[in-house]
């Protein structure tokens, strides 16, 4: 068993998709171990996405993720990071397979509905960052 950090982004919350997205993870077999509706301040968002701070879209990314409430979760299950990433789908929704969350609910890479940790060490870092 391992844990991952998943967050419904402001577009998903605004579109009323939180319940459906949580259900997708529960149906897959994950256990929800912690969750909160919250809003990231700029500093927290910059730390969350610090690995991308040299990218040209970094400012836009921080603007977007701080633009409204997010729904942050800790999910537990076997191979949690990999299983969550495969359910979430490719970063660019154009390449995300139908049946994945991004494949079914998103159309634009800059508002792709959901975040999921990409490695064991980032999962631990993100859980500690958002659920102190």
Residue nearer to ligand IDP on the CB measure, 22 or 96: 96
Find, among 34, 30, 4, the residue nearest to 118 by Cα: 4
Question: According to CB under 6 A, which one of 110, 119, 121, 128 is a site residue for ligand IDP?
Answer: 110
- The helix or strand, by DSSP H or E, that contains position 61, with its residue range, turns out to be helix 58-65
* Assigned token pair, 130: 């958002």
Residues whose CB falls within 8 Å of the CB of residue 124, separated by 6 or more in sequence, listed in order: none
* Assigned token pair, 14: 């605004």
Q: Coil, strand or helix: which one is 34?
A: strand
118 sits near ligand IDP (criterion: CB under 6 A): yes
* Inter-residue contact 83 to 116 (CB < 8 Å): no
Residue nearest to ligand IDP (CB): 91
At its nearest, how many Å lie between ligand IDP and the CB of residue 110? 4
130 is an active site residue: no
Which window, 20-28, 38-46, 107-115, 121-129, contacts ligand IDP (CB under 6 A)?
107-115
Interface of this chain with ligand IDP, residues 26 to 85, rule: CB under 6 A? 52, 57, 61
* Residues contributing to the site for ligand IDP (CB under 6 A): 52, 57, 61, 91, 109-110, 112, 115, 118
Q: Which residues are catalytic?
A: 115
């Amino acid at each position: 068993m391992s844990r991952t950090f998943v967050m419904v982004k402001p577009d998903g919350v605004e579109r009323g998709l939180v319940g459906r997205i949580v259900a997708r993870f529960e149906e897959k077999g994950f256990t929800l171990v912690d969750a909160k509706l919250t809003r990231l301040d700029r500093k927290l968002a910059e730390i969350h996405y610090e690995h991308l701070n040299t990218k040209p879209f970094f400012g836009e990314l921080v603007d977007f993720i701080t633009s409204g409430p997010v729904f942050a979760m800790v999910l537990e299950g076997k191979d949690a990071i990999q299983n969550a990433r495969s359910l979430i789908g490719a970063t660019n929704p154009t390449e995300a397979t139908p049946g994945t969350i991004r494949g079914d609910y998103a159309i634009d890479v800059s508002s792709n509905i959901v975040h999921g940790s990409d490695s064991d060490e980032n999962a631990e870092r993100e859980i500690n960052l958002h659920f102190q």
